[in-house]
Amino acid sequence: MQLHTLAFFVAPFITLASTVIPAHSSDAQQGRDGEVRILYWQAPSILNPYLSGGIKDVEAASLVLEPLARLNPDGVMTPWLATEIPTLDNGGVSADLTRITWHLTPGLTWSDGSPLTARDVQFTFQYCTATDGACAQKDKFRDLISVETPDDLTAVLQFSAPRPYPYGPFVGPQTPILQAAQFADCIGPRAPGCTEQNFAPIGTGPYTVQEFRPNDAVRFTANPNYRDEGKPAFGSVMFKGGTDANAAGRAVLETGEFDYAWNLQLAPEVLDAMAARGKGSIITAFSTLVERITFNMTNPDPALGEDRATLGEPHPALSDLAVRQALAMALDRDVMTQIGYGPTGRTTCNIIPAPPIYASSANDGCAAQDLEGARALLSSAGWVDSDGDGVRQRDGTHLRFTFQTSTNAVRQNFQLLAKEWWRQIGVATELRNIDASVFFGSDPSSPDTMQKFYADIEMYAGASDGPDPASYLGQWACGRAPSPDNAWQGSNVARFCDPEYDTLLDKLTQTAGLAERAEIARQMNDMLVQNYVVVPLVDRGRVSARSNSLAGVQINAWDSELWNIAEWRRVTP
């Protein structure tokens, strides 16, 4: 009896851990497990990722369309339709870093039975870069000038400038390969009009589109020409969109109507209560989405008029490193993580917390709260409460700050906690919360945007696009500081300006080789964190839920969450 109970509890974990090993022999039949029901609370509106930037659309399309390579859950690049990842060492990347050669796996076919060739790769490039076209992924094809096809299985990408990290196009779910034959008449301005193609693209993936109702649901059936014998295990996929995160969580965890629910950003107590019903479990994956506090290095005083919050006017208090460090030391990041995110977040001291090779270990231990140390630091820097009003001052400048963020229950809790801790070290804080559409709206005429930063301290979340942090770290370049000259569109909201940092950034954009790049990226991360330009708080994970009868799920924060749906199968919980 006892043994039986034990097996009952352990079984799901064993199956989860052993997903890499095929659980069924190759003679097992495709479609043997019937239907899997997936719920995305944002419904897909199109199945062509080149015409939509929405995650819901990209992930729905990822069942059908596939790229040359993907990132696995650890952020490591894995060949998908290609035989191997081209690198300098294997000769796939040319020495001058401008050419990259991909080799397609021989014998691959589209779901209609026709062969996949390098011509399709070339066509996809032409499709996205066509003049007058509105390709949503154009940025990924930046500097790519041609794709040559020396033979049917080789595609050579030629860039106009050296690309130390050349894995932009055809890697990841945003830039899959389209079938040239199907989309031939849909180039440029005609692309959005090709409804039939955009709603039911032909792909190489495990599923084909059977029926698509935009903004409602998609029904997929298994691709009879799929390359792996006996896969996928599910003959059809019901991909439903709509409702909200709360209802989606209930549908999997409480009622069991669905097998998989995506993106459940709910309060930790709410999630725990749902999971306690025992119908399913919560799965998380972490990438680089970090909730952070940013200090304004420039003076936001309205009296400065035009020069308000621009580089010429340093902040009277926050330009002092001691003040920034003390504010950071007063925070108990573990408590914040626990209250705000529970199991779906983890405390971080780095602005780049992943993949492991890029994560610096120089800042470990930052998370411990040290109120006494913060007080001592402020006192030794000359900030003392000489008039007895509970607020420290120096040369007539009081430590009174405005702390703004978007309206969001978790962020308001964080604000309240920070205010209380800062009060204990003699810093007064005025809190402001701004509607998210305004705060993140980047409208240059609004005074309340994150970029304008007409406050002293602000909090928001940001992430690196993909595992390579070059463009992400580039956000803190001096020239990217928002100002009236660039219509307040810069990404360096802290107005951090350090020539040394900019030099490192230049070096990063010219260095190839993963280990060297990681070394520079870690240095830059440490500069940002140890100068207390940003205070990383929580590494926020992707949260989804799966039914206990669903096995093979490996949630992936770097790629589509459904990246390995061909491996999914039904088990008895």
Partner 1 sequence: MLGLIVITVGLGPWVWPLPAKLIDLGARNAGPGWAHPLGTDQLGRDLLAQLLAGGRVSLAVAGAAMIVSISLGTALGVLSGMFRWLDGPLMRLTDLFLALPVLPLLLITVALFRAPLSAALGPETGIFILIVLAIGATSWMSTARILRGEVRALMARDFIRAARSTGTRNGAMITRHVLPNIIGALTVSATLGVASAILMESALSFLGLGFPPDMATWGRLLLDGTAHLGNHPGRALWPGALITATALAVTWLGDGYRDQNDPRHHAR
Tell me how far, at minimum, the Cβ of 156 lies from partner 1, in Å.
52
Q: Which of 119, 227, 346, 432 binds partner 1 (CB under 8 A)?
A: 432
From 83-91, 432-440, 505-513, 545-553, span contacting partner 1 (CB under 8 A): 432-440
Residue closer to partner 1, measured from CB, 159 or 422: 422
Tell me how far, at minimum, the Cβ of 528 lies from partner 1, in Å.
28
CA distance 493 to 454: 10
The amino acid at 255: T
Tell me how far, at minimum, the Cβ of 339 lies from partner 1, in Å.
6
Q: Which of 151, 228, 430, 506 binds partner 1 (CB under 8 A)?
A: 430
CA distance 124 to 105: 18
How many chain residues are in contact with partner 1, going by CB under 8 A? 28
Residue closer to partner 1, measured from CB, 416 or 487: 416
Binding mask 274-303 for partner 1 (x = CB under 8 A): ----------------------------x-
Tell me how far, at minimum, the Cβ of 545 lies from partner 1, in Å.
17
Locate 397 and state its tokens. 């400048």
Tell me how far, at minimum, the Cβ of 413 lies from partner 1, in Å.
6
Within 441-460, the residues that bind partner 1 by CB under 8 A are: 446-448
Residue closer to partner 1, measured from CB, 115 or 447: 447
From 47-55, 185-193, 311-319, 426-434, span contacting partner 1 (CB under 8 A): 426-434
Indicate left, alpha or beta for 8 from its phi (over 0: left) and psi (-120 to 50: alpha): alpha
Residue closer to partner 1, measured from CB, 71 or 410: 410
- Helix, strand or coil, per DSSP, at residue 541: strand
Q: Using DSSP bridges, classify how beta strands 428-434 and 400-406 pair: parallel, antiparallel or unpaired.
A: parallel
- Helix, strand or coil, per DSSP, at residue 51: helix
CA distance 203 to 61: 9
DSSP string, 326-381: HHHHT--HHHHHHHHTGGGEEE-S-S---SGGG--STTTTTTS--HHHHHHHHHHT
Tell me how far, at minimum, the Cβ of 86 lies from partner 1, in Å.
49
Tell me how far, at minimum, the Cβ of 376 lies from partner 1, in Å.
23
Q: Which of 434, 481, 497, 518 binds partner 1 (CB under 8 A)?
A: 434
CA distance 137 to 284: 27
Tell me how far, at minimum, the Cβ of 324 lies from partner 1, in Å.
22
CA distance 179 to 205: 12
Tell me how far, at minimum, the Cβ of 245 lies from partner 1, in Å.
12
Residues 6+ apart with CB under 8 A from 373: 329
Residue closer to partner 1, measured from CB, 196 or 435: 435
The amino acid at 482: P
| Residue 270 is a binding residue for partner 1 (CB under 8 A) | yes
Within 335-354, the residues that bind partner 1 by CB under 8 A are: 335, 339
Residue 157, strand partner residues: 100, 147
Tell me how far, at minimum, the Cβ of 418 lies from partner 1, in Å.
10
Q: Which of 84, 196, 435, 516 binds partner 1 (CB under 8 A)?
A: 435
- Helix, strand or coil, per DSSP, at residue 561: coil
Tell me how far, at minimum, the Cβ of 170 lies from partner 1, in Å.
42
CA distance 488 to 496: 15
Q: Are 421 and 333 in contact (CB under 8 A)?
A: no
Binding mask 382-421 for partner 1 (x = CB under 8 A): ------------------------xx-x--xx-xxx-xx-
- Count CA atoms closer than 13 A to 394's CA, side-chain side: 16
Binding mask 38-77 for partner 1 (x = CB under 8 A): ----------------------------------------
Locate 200 and state its tokens. 């039911």
| Residue 269 is a binding residue for partner 1 (CB under 8 A) | yes
* CB neighbourhood size of 418 (10 A): 25
* CB neighbourhood size of 44 (10 A): 25
Within 302-331, the residues that bind partner 1 by CB under 8 A are: 302
| Residue 119 is a binding residue for partner 1 (CB under 8 A) | no
Q: Using DSSP bridges, classify how beta strands 144-151 and 77-79 pair: parallel, antiparallel or unpaired.
A: unpaired
Indicate left, alpha or beta for 365 from its phi (over 0: left) and psi (-120 to 50: alpha): left
Residue closer to partner 1, measured from CB, 17 or 409: 409
Tell me how far, at minimum, the Cβ of 407 lies from partner 1, in Å.
5
Burial of residue 471 (CB within 10 Å: 0-12, 13-18, 19+) is middle
Q: Are 334 and 347 in contact (CB under 8 A)?
A: yes
Q: Which residues bind partner 1 (CB under 8 A)?
A: 267, 269-270, 273, 302, 335, 339, 406-407, 409, 412-413, 415-417, 419-420, 430-435, 438-439, 446-448
